[in-house]
Chains A and B, each alone.
Chain A
Amino acid sequence: MSNDEYHWGMVIDLDLCTACQACVVACHAENNVPSVGEVEVIRRRSMHWIRIDRLWHGEEDHLRAEFTPLLCQHCANAPCEPVCPMYATYHDPNNHLNIQVYNRCAGIRYCGVNCPYKVRHFNWFDPYVPEPLNEQLNPDVTVRRRGVMEKCTFCVQRIRRARDEARAQGVPFDTSRVQPACVQTCPTGALIFGNLDEPESEVARLARSPRAFLLLEELGTEPTIFYLKRGESHVRTG
């Protein structure tokens, strides 16, 4: 391993996404994301590191639903990072990841205010994991207490484990073997993850697609998640 720098990125093919929510469930299981319950969801405090934004288009008889899986965009120029006085929101320069250090977080929620994608989540109460779900908590991931912010990490524990294993075995790190839980679970293969710095990787190839676009590109946040979309590919009702 001469170069220990990776530019992790994701491609989300909106033409393939069926909004089945499997990625949401997988993320909850992998990252010990607590279920906040119905009442809190109604109060707009839902906690999903990846969620499916649903927007309705058109008139009453011709309603179309447009689905967008939304997770932390791991912006290269992240608005959440400079505003945190504690360095709890921090840019990992080696992995180009937007890191949230829970122990440093005092819960000022400045990052949440400044995130234009609204993908940062606050622990309004201590997490509650009902039995028997406590049996499946992931020992690789810490549980966050009340008063701290949290968000998608691109399953950084999986990235580290794969890299450390490759190092221990003395073999080159095959970045294509790393998959966050959402990508692993997606039944239609709408989510693709990888190292954008390797031009031959699938994620880098798809990111060059003419269908690719960035979310709120005009804000200059330089997200590392590329969305693919062509034409009208929405679910119709009525």
Chain B
Amino acid sequence: MSVLDRATGWFGSWVSRGEREAHHDHSKLLLHDPRPQEELNDMVLDAMQRTGRGYWTVVGLLAVLAVGSFLAAWVYMILSGMGVTGLSRPNYWGVFIASFIFWIGISHAGTFISAILRIFGAEYRRPITRAAEMMTTTSLIVAASFLGIHVGRVWVAYWIAPYPNQRGLWPNYHSPFLWDEMAIVTYLVGSTLYLYLPLIPDLAMARDRNLGGWREKVYRALALGWQGTEEQWHHLNLAIKIFSVVIIPVMFSVHTIVSWDLAMTKALGWRSTIFAPYFIVGAVFSGLSAAISVLIIARSSMKLEYFIREEHLNGLARLVLIFSMVWTYFFFADFLTEWYGGDAAGHTIIQLQVSGPVAPFWYAMLFFNIVVPWLTLWNGRIRRSPKALMLITIGINVGMYLERYIIVTGFLRRNQMPFSWGDYAPSPVEIAIVFGSLCTFLLFYALLSRAIPIIPVWEVREGQLSHGLRRLGRATVPTVTELEE
């Protein structure tokens, strides 16, 4: 069951006690605790309609912050000029690019959990795919907005799109920035379709609740006349199967190209051949952590304890630990080669991180990304504790934001011309925009969580149908029916 737990030696017996207890009572597992279809539907739809005073207070507050912090600061910056940021000559890129990379990273959670775990048949993915896919679409919109925020003349930013124009000029396909735009648009379209496909049966479920008014009309239109016939299921499963394979290379391409924005340049510390896989691993690491945070919030605020259980947190937390190790491996490989190479210019970057102005961020990053997960996540109890996981995963995302902050705004402080060295600190306007972008993400997500069913009921039901218990003598043995023909 858990190789990691066994490997921890004498810790093992204490660590896996919780797990063994869980095994005695199979009904603790979602797929061995089936309920009637109607009850499942009601649970999810009730959660979706649960918009009490608390919900609207949070949404209202987020909306105020999104407009007052994110939009207002952005408009102020457009009207006065990029000078209101903390950017300067060596630091032409700042927290906007760091945030852009961060939000693109968050968007990797959906595809990873949904597509990769689906292909590998990880059963614990079933109730959490939708919540993760919603994160992908939402964070991609926030990430794309940072490309507009970053540029000096946002009113001409649409020139980056290739369209026949009066200037008689195509955009420059040599520029990694253009690859970026192409990859993000592809990923946004692809991931939205991928969110939509498995949603169709659940939209039909919402439609059949007879909400009346415009909502029912919207659900009716979006459900595309879903009746749940044999043929429809066949088509849907085929489409999902194709999409989950196709979306994976798209996901890889996005963060690869984001890393190439940096790796294709001559800037110190950026020109690294391992940046692409390093960034992808970091993206999945931070995306999985964000998915855990969001699931824990959704679980308690929408009363989804039946669907999102300790086993699901445990499964994701294990992946987080593995990705923490892989990320550390890449980090170490990148750092060691730079240090061992002994290049004087490269060493200014090393010194900057170890004892220079970005050292506090650097040590904080190592603490949140390596020390905390390695010391805690081997423990099965911690992996099942929502409170502990909430702290750990938020810490990981702080650490991953710091990683992008260091790589983008830290490395740029040094270059081959020492006269042009200079430090950087984000201005209040930049901080307001970055903070506001988080509020915007949460606002979009909160609204989306009440607009579409956050649990793919049919996937859970499918899983419950294929899982059963059998008596073997006095023991009860869980059995699984293979779904692939």
Contacts and interface: CB of A to CB of B under 8 A. Distances in A.
Interface in A126-154: 126, 146-149
A137 B152 CA distance: 24
Contact of B175 (A44, A84, A104): A84
B159 interface: yes
Nearest to A109: B92
A85 B175 contact: yes
Interface in A72-92: 79, 82-87
Interface string B72-84: 0000000011110
B176 interface: yes
Interface in A95-127: 104-110, 112-114, 116-118, 121-126
A146 B82 contact: yes
B82 A53 contact: no
15 contacts: A45-B88, A45-B89, A46-B89, A55-B419, A83-B174, A86-B159, A106-B153, A108-B150, A109-B92, A110-B175, A113-B93, A116-B415, A124-B82, A146-B81, A219-B416
Contacts of B154: 106
A104 B418 CA distance: 31
A43 interface: yes
B265 A113 contact: yes
B83 A40 contact: yes
A62 interface: no
B81 A126 contact: yes
A125 B172 contact: no
Contacts of A20: none
A125 B80 CA distance: 7
Contacts of B178: 85
A44 B159 contact: no
A199 B174 CA distance: 34
A166 interface: no
A93 B281 CA distance: 42
Nearest to A218: B416
Interface string B156-172: 11011000000101011
A108 B171 CA distance: 13
Contacts of A205: none
4 closest A-B pairs by CB: A107-B152, A147-B152, A124-B83, A44-B88
A46 B90 CA distance: 11
Given A85-B177, A105-B153, A112 B92 contact: yes
Given A125-B83, A146-B152, A53 B266 contact: no
Given A82-B175, A85-B175, 5 more contacts: A44-B90, A46-B89, A86-B159, A118-B415, A147-B82
Residue of B93, B175, B415 ringed by the most chain A CB atoms within 10 A: B175
Interface residues of A, number: 42
Interface string B331-356: 00000000000000000000000000
Nearest to A107: B152
B419 A53 contact: yes
Interface in B233-275: 264-267
A53 B267 CA distance: 19
A54 interface: yes
Nearest to A146: B81
Contacts of A148: 152-153
A44 B421 CA distance: 9
A26 B464 CA distance: 80
Contacts of B87: 109, 122, 124
Contacts of B412: 113
Interface of B: 80-83, 87-93, 150-154, 156-157, 159-160, 167, 169, 171-172, 174-178, 181, 264-267, 412, 415-420, 422
A121 B150 CA distance: 16
Contact of B92 (A113, A117, A147): A113
Contacts of A83: 174-177, 264-265
Contacts of A110: 175, 177, 265
A43 B87 CA distance: 9
A172 B89 CA distance: 42
Contacts of B422: 44
B282 to A, nearest CB: 20
A216 interface: yes
B82 A87 contact: no
Interface string A146-186: 11110000000000000000000000000000000000000
B89 A106 contact: no
Contacts of A117: 417
Contact of B417 (A113, A114, A118, A121): A118
A54 B416 contact: no
A109 B93 contact: yes
Contact of B416 (A86, A104, A116, A149): A116
Nearest to A112: B92
Given A44-B90, A45-B88, A104 B82 contact: no
Nearest to B412: A113
A79 B308 CA distance: 51
Given A83-B265, A113-B92, A106 B83 contact: no
B151 A106 contact: yes
A48 B375 CA distance: 52
Nearest to B181: A85
A70 B93 CA distance: 22
Residue of A53, A86, A146, A148 ringed by the most chain B CB atoms within 10 A: A86
Contacts of B172: 82, 84-87
A116 B92 CA distance: 13
Contacts of A125: 80-81, 83
A108 B83 contact: no
A224 to B, nearest CB: 18
Contacts of B152: 105-109, 122-123, 146-149
A55 B421 CA distance: 12
Contacts of A44: 88-91, 422
A106 B176 CA distance: 15
A107 B153 contact: yes
A116 B157 contact: no
Contacts of B151: 106-108, 147
Nearest to B160: A85
Residue of B81, B89, B264, B419 ringed by the most chain A CB atoms within 10 A: B89
Nearest to A220: B266
